[in-house]
Amino acid sequence: MKELSLNILDIAQNSVKAGAKNIEISLAEEGNRLTFRITDDGCGMSEDFLARVLDPFTTTRTTRKVGLGLPLLKMAAEATGGSLEISSRSEKEHADHGTEVTATFYTDHIDCPPLGDIVSTVVLLLQNAPFEPRYVYSHSKGENVFSLDTDELHEQLGPDIPLSEPAVLEFTESYLREGEEGLG
């Protein structure tokens, strides 16, 4: 993956596949440190699977929910002096199930990939009908914060118009681009 925003797209798609109804994507930039966190309330992973999830060679086709994405992301984060952490609670064992992936990168390291086009990532997640979990996206740069909650979009749109409607996506993309530019 050439951009961190592509990893975010990949992880959030996995949250959708895990049946999540709520997905939170938060991105925080403070000085030279960039942290992103994707939290979902999907089916989660068993402790056994969680222990192996970062090993690319134990992933099988039946558990292709993860594949090579996370091990390579961990390697990329650690190459910059950062880290990748995953916690997960399986729905079979916990009522409050879900998964949280947190990655930290140091942007002044020569090997740090660029964040890339985060707006396209969010727009494509919203386009992924008929799966419409609630997304809460937030991006902070120092003191400045921009956020988008799809519940607020639905409030304006009413029950019949999906977020994947081209006119809605076009609006959301411009709204996100303005918000991102406002962060400086």
Partner 1 sequence: MKTLAELNEIRERMKTKVSVRENGNTYRVVVGMATCGIAAGARPVMSALLSEVTAQHLEDTVHVSQTGCIGICQYEPVVEIFKGDEKYTYVKMTPEKMKEVVDSHLKNGKPITEYTIGSM
Size of the site for partner 1 (CB under 8 A): 35
Q: Which residues make Cβ contacts (< 8 Å) with residue 177, sequence separation at least 6?
A: 119
Q: Is residue 172 within a helix (H) or strand (E), and if so which, with residue range?
A: helix 166-182
| 171 part of the interface to partner 1, by CB under 8 A | yes
Strand order in the sheet with 98-106: 83-89, 98-106, 33-40, 22-30, 134-141, 144-149
| 156 part of the interface to partner 1, by CB under 8 A | yes
- Binding to partner 1 in span 65-104, by CB under 8 A: 67-69
CB 148 within 8 A of CB 176: yes
| 122 part of the interface to partner 1, by CB under 8 A | no
CB 9: neighbour CB atoms within 10 A?
23
Q: How far apart are CA 43 and CA 55, in angstroms?
A: 20
Toward partner 1, which CB reaches closer, 89 or 101?
101
Cβ 6 to partner 1, closest distance in Å? 5
Out of 47, 93, 108, 170, name the contact with partner 1 by CB under 8 A.
170
Q: Which residues bind partner 1 (CB under 8 A)?
A: 1, 6, 9-10, 13, 17, 64, 67-69, 117, 120-121, 123-124, 127-129, 152-153, 156-158, 160-161, 165-171, 174-175, 178
